[in-house]
């Protein structure tokens, strides 16, 4: 250790190596964060969106933070590369090398950019000439001298600022537009139902409410897409970047309003004749059967991808004949052919229930392999917990058996037969450990002889 210089005492070789290792690890962490931010879906959406309001303002600041982050990272990289180059000249660095390394690792370097305030960039406009620090205006500095450690802190601040905007916008866009679209689709269904019973704007209060709800959902979706951060509630206190939740209050109000409209239309429908109610019930049953069959088809694809050598039954198509007869029943009602409608409804009601039962049975049959896998996973973990309770969690033989079974059950595609055999082998081995041994080392010898 030499005499003190402008950056303090000259570092020793060991101190230099430790500093380079620490700074290298921080460099890798910042680099990983940069690439993660670059590939973040929310960032790509923000870059391609026409933003307004709060989001436009905060995204402009976040873009500045990202620019400063890249600038700081490039400066940090150059300084670290130079220090590594100096250190790599010789195995045992000379005093001049150590002095130079001390200056590089503990000295200051110049970073340029906009106004800096603890890692936060000020926005443009009236405040473009000043930054803020503790509520006091400070002059903008186009360059600043910082150490490598201070630069890392600044980069972490810029990253947190950008990620907070990106993650919040992505959370809102992931949560609200799809829900609004689903509610709008339900609204269209309710609107069609309302028109079928004469509930129209200007003729019935629920018709006017439908128009207002439609306008609200259209406006809400446009605002969410253009200004997602206006619908973001940050978490209270200090939290990680992106901490908070989407504000769904306007959506919830619209959903409750639509539900009230639907109940009102249901009340109108109850005034209609029994045949109309029965036809609606039939449509609902067949719709549920269709959804169940669609779910079974999706589940079959999943089972074929995740379960190996499994015989998965085929899923049948929609009940076209029943839909044709249902259309005929509606025509009978429309033309008041009650004598033909009555027996057809009785037949359709029974066949629709049978169709729903058949769809449910197909779904159960298709998903059976997944249920078997889940049961095997549960059994395996239960025996592992039981073994741990008896203090045998570190038993090498049991650990090997457990690892084999777990790899089979958590791999895709999963061979259920082989996985079940592996679970049984682990179960038998665990039972041997848990049952009091008799006959000295006989149990150990038996375990060693197992395949």
Q: What is the tens place of the pLDDT at every residue in 71-124? A: 888 888 888 777 777 777 778 876 776 776 777 777 667 776 543 444 444 333
Task: Tell if the pTM clears 0.75, that is, is over it.
Answer: no
**Secondary structure (H, E, C), 266-283:** HHHHHHCCHHHHHHHHHH
Tell me the pLDDT band of 216, cut-offs 50, 70 and 90: very high
Among 163-177, 277-291, 387-401, where is mean pLDDT lowest? 387-401
* pLDDT score of 17 more than 50: yes
Contact 145, 152 (CB under 8 A): no
Nearest in space to 63 (alpha carbons), one of 170, 229, 71:
71
Contact 77, 27 (CB under 8 A): yes
Among 227-241, 264-278, 368-382, 405-419, where is mean pLDDT lowest? 264-278
Tens of pLDDT, residue by residue over 33-69, are: 788 777 777 778 888 788 899 988 888 888 888 888 8
Contact 178, 246 (CB under 8 A): no
What the block records as the tokens of 60 is 């402009």
* pLDDT score of 277 more than 90: no
Tens of pLDDT, residue by residue over 224-249, are: 999 999 998 887 665 667 678 899 99
Query: What is the pLDDT, as a whole number, of residue 341?
Result: 66
For the ranges 22-36, 138-152, 241-255, the maximum mean pLDDT occurs at 241-255
> Quick one: which H or E segment has residue 376?
helix 338-389
Residues 6+ apart with CB under 8 A from 429: 397, 398, 401, 447, 450
For the ranges 101-110, 365-374, 437-446, the maximum mean pLDDT occurs at 365-374
What the block records as the tokens of 409 is 């059950």
Query: What is the pLDDT, as a whole number, of residue 265?
Result: 80
Query: What is the pLDDT, as a whole number, of residue 8?
Result: 63
DSSP label at 240?
Answer: -
**CA gap 421, 446 in Å, rounded:** 18
For the ranges 206-220, 258-272, 363-377, the maximum mean pLDDT occurs at 206-220
């Amino acid at each position: 250790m030499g005499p003190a210089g402008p950056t303090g005492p000259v570092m020793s070789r060991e101190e230099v190596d430790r500093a380079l290792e620490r700074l290298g690890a921080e460099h890798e962490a910042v680099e990983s964060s940069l690439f993660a931010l670059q590939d973040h879906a929310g960032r790509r959406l923000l870059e391609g969106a026409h933003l307004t309001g709060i989001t436009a303002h905060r995204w402009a600041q976040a873009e500045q933070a990202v620019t400063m982050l890249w600038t700081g990272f490039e400066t940090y990289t150059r300084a670290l590369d130079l220090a590594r180059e100096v250190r790599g000249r010789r195995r045992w660095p000379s005093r001049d090398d150590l002095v130079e390394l001390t200056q590089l690792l503990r000295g200051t370097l110049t970073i340029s950019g906009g106004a800096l305030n603890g890692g936060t960039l000020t926005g443009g406009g009236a405040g473009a000439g000043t930054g803020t620090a503790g509520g006091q205006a400070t002059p903008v500095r186009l360059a600043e001298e910082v150490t490598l450690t201070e630069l890392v802190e600044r980069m972490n601040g810029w990253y947190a600022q950008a990620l907070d905007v990106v993650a919040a916008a992505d959370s809102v866009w992931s949560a609200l537009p799809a829900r609004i679209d689903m509610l709008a689709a339900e609204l269209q269904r309710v609107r069609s139902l309302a028109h079928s019973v004469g509930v129209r704007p200007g003729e019935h209060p629920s018709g006017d409410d439908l128009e207002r709800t439609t306008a609200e959902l259209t406006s809400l979706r446009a605002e969410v897409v253009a200004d997602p951060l206006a619908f973001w509630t940050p978490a209270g206190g200090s939290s990680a970047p992106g901490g908070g939740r989407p504000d769904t209050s306007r959506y919830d109000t619209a959903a409750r309003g639509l539900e009230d409209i639907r109940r009102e239309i249901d009340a109108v429908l109850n005034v209609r004749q029994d045949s109309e109610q029965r036809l609606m019930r039939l449509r609902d049953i067949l719709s549920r059967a269709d959804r169940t069959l669609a779910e079974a088809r999706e589940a079959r694809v999943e089972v074929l991808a995740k379960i190996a050598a499994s015989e998965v039954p085929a899923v049948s198509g929609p009940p076209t004949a029943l839909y044709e007869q249902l259309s005929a029943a509606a025509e009978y009602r429309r033309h008041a052919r009650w004598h033909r409608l009555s027996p057809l409804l009785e037949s359709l009601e029974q066949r629709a229930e049978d169709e729903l039962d058949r769809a449910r049975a197909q779904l159960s049959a298709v998903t059976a392999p997944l249920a078997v896998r889940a049961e095997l996973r549960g059994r395996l973990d239960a025996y592992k917990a039981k073994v741990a309770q008896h203090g045998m969690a570190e038993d090498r033989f049991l650990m090997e058996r457990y690892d084999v079974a777990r790899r089979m059950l958590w791999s895709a595609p999963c061979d259920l037969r082989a996985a079940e055999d592996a679970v049984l082998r682990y179960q038998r081995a665990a039972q041997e450990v848990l049952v009091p041994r008799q006959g000295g080392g006989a149990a150990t010898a038996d375990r060693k002889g197992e395949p």
